[in-house]
Amino acid sequence: MAKVEPDRLICLYYLDDTLNKDQNQQMQALENLAPNIRAIDFNKLDWSEYDFEFDTNRLTSDLDSDKKMRMTEYLKLPNIDKRMGFRLDMMRILMLLKAGDGFIESKKIKPEEISNSKSVIYFDFDAKIEGKIGELNAPLGILASRTKDVVHSSKYKIVLLLLIVLVIL
């Protein structure tokens, strides 16, 4: 069982379009676990401040070749396996760039709850299709590089990326 961490703001980023209705509700319910936990839908934040243009043919062949696209447009395209890698990489980078500002923008916290240091710790993980959000088995207190039977098992699929950012208050 994890210890309570009252001195840090814990923000759980998620992609609502990769979750079903029940999973989205479970993400929101996580906010009721403790006063310092926030669930933030990555898709609802404004990323235009970090926007850039790129050639789509470098990422995927399902778009018109030689087409230029803005990063913010690409992130809004339907979620398919070919696009997921870039999307997840951009999530990681943008989330860390924005840190506390993104939390304020989502109206999940007040500006005074964020320190000037914006120190962050980053974690991510995927949930099993049939698993419930919040059901983790961590007998040693932390899971790291535990991938036995994940890649080749039909029980697992990347359906969710939870990005947990701990902001030191």
- Examine residue 2 and state whether it is found in any structural domain, yes or no: no
- Examine residue 3 and state whether it is found in any structural domain, yes or no: no
Q: What pLDDT is recorded for position 99?
A: 62
Number of domains present in the structure of the chain? 1
pLDDT string in tens for the chain (169-residue length): 345 666 667 777 777 877 788 888 888 888 777 777 778 888 888 888 888 887 777 666 555 556 788 888 887 777 665 666 777 777 777 777 766 555 555 555 565 655 544 566 666 655 555 555 555 555 555 544 444 444 433 333 333 333 444 443 3
- Examine residue 28 and state whether it is found in any structural domain, yes or no: yes
Q: 3-state SS string over the chain?
A: CCCCCCCEEEEEEECHHHCCHHHHHHHHHHHHCCCCEEEEEHHHCCCHHHCCEEEHHHCCCCCCCCCEEEHHHHHCCCCCHHHHHHHHHHHHHHHHHHHHHHHHHCCCCCHHHCCCCCCEEEEEECCCCCCCCCCCCCCCCCCCCCCCCCCCCCCCCCCCCEEEEEEEC
Q: Name the pTM for this structure.
A: 0.58
- Examine residue 1 and state whether it is found in any structural domain, yes or no: no
Q: What pLDDT is recorded for position 123?
A: 63
- Examine residue 60 and state whether it is found in any structural domain, yes or no: yes
Q: Which domain, by its residues, includes 85?
A: 8-168
Q: What pLDDT is recorded for position 151?
A: 41
Q: What pLDDT is recorded for position 162?
A: 39
- Examine residue 112 and state whether it is found in any structural domain, yes or no: yes
